[in-house]
Amino acid sequence: SSDVCSSDLMDMAMRGWQYLAAGDLDDAMRRFNQAWLLNKKNGTALWGMAAIQASSGKYDDSLKLFAEAERFVGSEINFSVDYARTVGMAGVERKDDGLIKEAFHRFERIYQKAPQHTKNLQNWATTLFGIGRYSDAWEKVKLAEATPNKDELDPRFLAALQSRMPRPQN
């Protein structure tokens, strides 16, 4: 596939992300698959496929794809955030303490590198919420609310957390 230049591969993967953002999972998966078939080391395509599997609740497939993609894009902060989120979601759904512990480890590592990453803090709070640790979830929300991108916080999540435990006053 030396006749396909790397900008074509990136373009295919980018179109995959556009389809994914628009909620068109089938076309997104097709684009990511095409990009990956042309270059088996295309971590962005693997990441996209992993994100689609996660959004469909197919955690086994998703986690395998994330692990494979990590070899190529592991240093990308938003990749790390997506991966940690998926590990947390899988852990909560399966009530798997090992996965939950791994998710918390990943959230913490990301926080050390990027303490202002709103989505990481929200994902951390969501995982805490999922295992019933509501006051800890509020602590992460409080940190997220102090970030420049605090408007990225999901109001539905905040309402769900509020319904389980009113926001602490301190």
What does pTM read for this prediction? 0.90
Instruction: Give the pLDDT confidence score for residue 1 in this predicted structure.
Output: 39
The pLDDT tens digits for 73-92 are 989 999 999 999 999 999 99
Number of other residues whose CB lies within 10 A of the CB of residue 163? 8
